[in-house]
Chains A and B, each alone.
Chain A
Amino acid sequence: QVQLVESGGGVVQPGRSLRLSCAASGFTFSSYAMHWVRQAPGKGLEWVALISYDGSNKYYADSVKGRFTISRDNSKDTLYLQMNSLRAEDTAVFYCARDRDIVVVTGIPDYWGQGTLVTVSS
């Protein structure tokens, strides 16, 4: 079965960096685009970034553009989110999610991980 397991969250000071990872299993990771979506405590969902199946195309929310970088290692079945210049407003649970169809980007996250909490605080 499809499984996505995020890691790398924790408490970080404003202005510092953090890298999240998402280990995928149960499907052919290299054939699917992948998303990061976040949720601030008690708030709604915010789409963060998407990377195509081969890593050739990347898209970002305006709120993270220039600070966050999405990447993937298909040889390790792992998705990453490098987060630089972190701000208090980046505090959230970060979910990785698989895009719904093979190769083609649909923009529809279907399977989600359990999330990892990032807290930006001094």
Chain B
Amino acid sequence: DIQMTQSPSSLSASVGDRVTITCRASQSISSYLNWYQQKPGKAPKLLIYGASSLQSGVPSRFSGSGSGTDCTLTISSLQPEDFATYYCQQSYSTPYTFGQGTKLEIK
């Protein structure tokens, strides 16, 4: 199985900050990497698919990059509604594994 490791596990930031979250795969997954946002008590929401494609309706301050074993999610200017937990997920092969999550908190 492909292991997904996110860093950091938690992050404190302020409104307006630029934030980057990294996801590393245990083997190359090309660009089969997706990012989700989850708020407490809610279902996850797809933000980015194929490493860099923005899901419809997602604000352009979210962007993704990378391929192979390393990908990143960047939020260019944090908004109050962005404080949540973020997960990466590989869709290269089954089982479709998730990272452990990165909790983004208000500083």
Contact for A109 among B42, B46, B95, B99, CB less than 8 A: B46
Hey, which chain B residues are within 8 Å of A100, CB to CB? Answer: 46, 49
State A108–B95 Cα separation when bound (angstroms).
12
A50 and B89 contacting across the interface, CB-CB below 8 Å: no
Size category, A interface:
20 to 34
Tell me the nearest residue of chain B to A112, going by C-beta: B43
Hey, which chain B residues are within 8 Å of A115, CB to CB? Answer: 43
Per the 8 Å Cβ criterion, residues 15-49 of B in contact with A are 32, 34, 36, 38, 42-46, 49
Residue A103 at the chain B interface, CB threshold 8 Å = no
Q: How many A-B residue pairs have CB under 8 A?
A: 57
New contact pairs (18) apart from A44-B100, A47-B98, A108-B34, CB-CB < 8 Å: A44-B99, A45-B89, A45-B98, A46-B98, A47-B97, A50-B94, A61-B95, A62-B1, A100-B46, A107-B90, A107-B92, A108-B49, A109-B46, A112-B43, A112-B45, A114-B42, A114-B43, A115-B43
The 9 closest A-B pairs by CB, nearest first: A107-B91, A112-B43, A59-B94, A47-B96, A45-B98, A61-B95, A44-B101, A110-B46, A107-B96
